[in-house]
Amino acid sequence: MRLKLAIQKSGRLHDDSMRLLKECGIDIANGVNKLKAEATNFPIELFFLRDDDIPQYVEDGVADIGFVGENVVYEKAKKVDVAYALGFGKCRLSFAVRKNEEFTGASFLANKKIATSYPVLVQKYLDAHKITAEIHEISGSVEIAPGIGLADVVCDLVSSGSTLFMNGLKESETILESQAVLIKHKNFSVEANAILERLMFRMESVKKAKKNKYVLLNAPNDNIEKIISLLPGMKSPTVLALATPGWSSVHSVIAESDFWEIIEQLKAAGAEGILVIPIEKMIL
């Protein structure tokens, strides 16, 4: 069998999804403007759909799994399971007000007109805070609503905030942190789940590789214990004797988040000739 995967047919999420599959070693035979494609070396078939439709296709079982933004998953509220966080497409759903206004919390929204493409999530927020407001659902260009008198406040997806700024608005409160996720149909066969586990194993290896760097360095043997203590690695660093007496080559892995701090400590401990190499895949 082939696992049926739904992804966005165009746009940034499409590009990131296809890049991830390629990094997982999956080759897709994709013609121009085709709505379906098959992998040539992995049991998976792709459906290219509108992102808003993906949760419905997965719920109905037309697709087994889908790559889609969390914001869409929770707005559509379909009966699907979120199986894996993909780590790209990060953004946030936030309220934004005019630059000269001060957002004082949920009470600020009372009796206001709110423009959004996410009425379900906005209503959920209002209900949770026992606030009554008027929601205007807009499919696009939400940020212009206050400027044309359609709304007092907007609730929209934000990445950098530059679009809000250009329209005289400022981000005020985030109600959802979002990223691309893998969703799956609730009734999965044993065979389909086995393929999904293989896919998720590959994706996790790619994700871990991006969060780490492979480091090679030369260390004086007098300081080797101190240098090793700075390099936890996956289990422990690899130490190899160099041709030069009194020196060793040390190989290890450093988390991206700790990289510069550890490199500075290694230099201070006497490490030389430090080479840093990206990791393509990382399998523990």
Residues 3-89+179-209: name the CATH superfamily. Periplasmic binding protein-like II (3.40.190.10)
Write down the pLDDT at residue 234.
Answer: 63
161 has a pLDDT exceeding 90: no
Asked if 32 and 41 touch (Cβ cutoff 8 Å), the reply is no
Q: Residue 257 carries which side chain, given as an amino acid letter?
A: S
d(CA 66, CA 4): 8
**Domain 91-178 coded CATH 3.40.190.10:** yes
Q: Residue 43 carries which side chain, given as an amino acid letter?
A: P
What are the pLDDT digits (tens) for 206-239?
998 988 889 999 999 999 999 988 886 667 788 9
Average per-residue pLDDT for the chain: 92
Across 250-267, b (16+ Cβ under 10 Å) vs e yields: bbbbbeeeeeeebbebbe
118 SS3 class? coil
- Topology of the domain comprising 211-278: Alpha-Beta Plaits (3.30.70)
Same fold, 91-178 and 211-278: no
Which tokens go with 189? 């066969």
33 has a pLDDT exceeding 70: no
Which tokens go with 110? 């009372």
d(CA 122, CA 95): 9
Write down the pLDDT at residue 233.
Answer: 60
Domain-by-domain residue ranges, the chain? 3-89+179-209, 91-178, 211-278
- 256 confidence band (pLDDT: 50, 70, 90): confident
